[in-house]
């Protein structure tokens, strides 16, 4: 048989082990004496939290004259773009490995190259968006959104692209990575034609570019870059 706890310190220690296990300690008022323990619910705090149940609050020091509540929420949601950029640089696309520099100039150069690489990729994604799983009618999608705090919506064209896996032009939809893999099949071949003569042999060299597919030609057209470089 367990001995009853005695003293405020011992009772308080035992209560402290469990009182905030589910982050609910703020909703209870505790009474601890040298020989007893009792509690009651703090009805006013429970009611105040119930009003905000399921709602998150964004606080900013920007004056309301410069940024409305909806704009504050939109800017907060745009932080996901920053998080996606870091994930892209570190693991997904650029695979920039940790390099332990000790010289300040080298650290700045490394960070600069990482940001420059992502800057180039960002522009590539913008230009190639019609061929990617990217909604190119974001303004329409935003108008279809019932509330700024609601889930994002696709535009009708974006929904059609996602369902059919085809672009409006009939091309298969790609991710950024698979489209680059497709473009990587373009190759420049060096051809050497050798002719034999009784006295000497001569060789002529020329370079031939593999014929791009219709999809590859469209990608270079969107980039504004000629296929033959």
Residues 86 and 37 in one domain: no
**Averaged pLDDT for residues 217-226:** 93
Q: Which of 126-135, 137-146, 153-162 has the lowest mean pLDDT?
A: 137-146
Residue 138 burial (C-beta neighbours within 10 Å; 0-12, 13-18, 19+): middle
Overall average pLDDT of the 182-191 stretch: 90
90 and 47 inside one domain: no
Residues 36 and 87 in one domain: no
The torsion defined by the Cα of 65, 66, 68 and 72, in degrees rounded to 10, comes to -150
Looking at the structure, do residues 97 and 155 belong to the same domain, yes or no? Answer: yes
φ, ψ (nearest 5 deg) of residue 175: -85, 170
State how far the Cα of 137 lies from the Cα of 79, in Å rounded to an integer.
Answer: 21
> Is residue 127's pLDDT more than 70?
yes
Whole-number mean pLDDT of the chain? Answer: 85
| 55 in Cβ contact with 67 (< 8 Å) | no
Cβ–Cβ < 8 Å for 16, 37:
no
The pLDDT of residue 2: 64
Residue with the bigger pLDDT between 124 and 3: it is 124
How many distinct structural domains can be found in the chain? 3
Given this model, what pLDDT does residue 195 score? 67
Residue 199 pLDDT > 60, yes or no?
A: no
Q: Determine the Cα–Cα distance for residues 46 and 105; give it in Å rounded to an integer.
A: 55
- In this prediction, residue 66 carries a pLDDT of 93
Q: Which two tokens stand for residue 74?
A: 């939109």
Q: End of a domain among 112, 144, 162?
A: 162
Kindly state the average pLDDT of the residues 89-107: 79
Q: Which residues contact 158 (CB under 8 A, 6 or more apart)?
A: 134, 135, 136, 137, 141
Q: Please tell me the distance from the alpha carbon of residue 218 to that of residue 107, in angstroms, as a whole number.
A: 39
Give the single-character DSSP code of 210.
P
Across 4-8, 73-77, 216-220, which has the greatest mean pLDDT? 216-220
What's the confidence (pLDDT) of residue 179? 95
Q: pLDDT value at position 228?
A: 66
Range of the domain at 84: 74-162
């Amino acid at each position: 048989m367990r001995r009853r706890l005695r003293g405020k310190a011992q009772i308080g220690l035992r209560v402290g082990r469990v009182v905030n296990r589910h982050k609910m300690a703020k909703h209870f008022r505790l009474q601890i004496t040298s020989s007893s323990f009792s509690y009651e619910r703090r009805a006013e705090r429970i009611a105040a939290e119930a009003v905000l149940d399921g709602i998150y609050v964004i606080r900013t020091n920007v004056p309301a004259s410069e940024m409305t509540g909806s704009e504050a929420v939109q800017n907060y949601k745009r932080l996901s773009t920053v998080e996606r950029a870091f994930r892209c640089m570190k693991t997904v696309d650029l695979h920039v490995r940790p390099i332990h520099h000790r010289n300040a100039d080298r650290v700045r150069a490394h960070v600069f190259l990482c940001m420059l690489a992502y800057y180039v990729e960002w522009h590539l994604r913008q230009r190639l968006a019609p061929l990617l799983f990217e909604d190119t009618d974001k303004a329409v999608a935003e108008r279809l959104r019932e509330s700024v705090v609601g889930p994002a919506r696709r535009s009708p064209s974006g929904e059609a692209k996602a369902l059919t896996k085809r672009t409006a032009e009939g091309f298969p939809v790609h991710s950024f990575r698979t489209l680059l893999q497709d473009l990587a099949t373009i190759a420049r071949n060096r051809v050497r034609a050798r002719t034999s003569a009784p006295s000497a042999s001569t060789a002529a060299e020329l370079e031939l570019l593999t014929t791009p597919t219709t999809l590859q030609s469209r990608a270079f057209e969107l980039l504004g870059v000629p296929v033959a470089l």
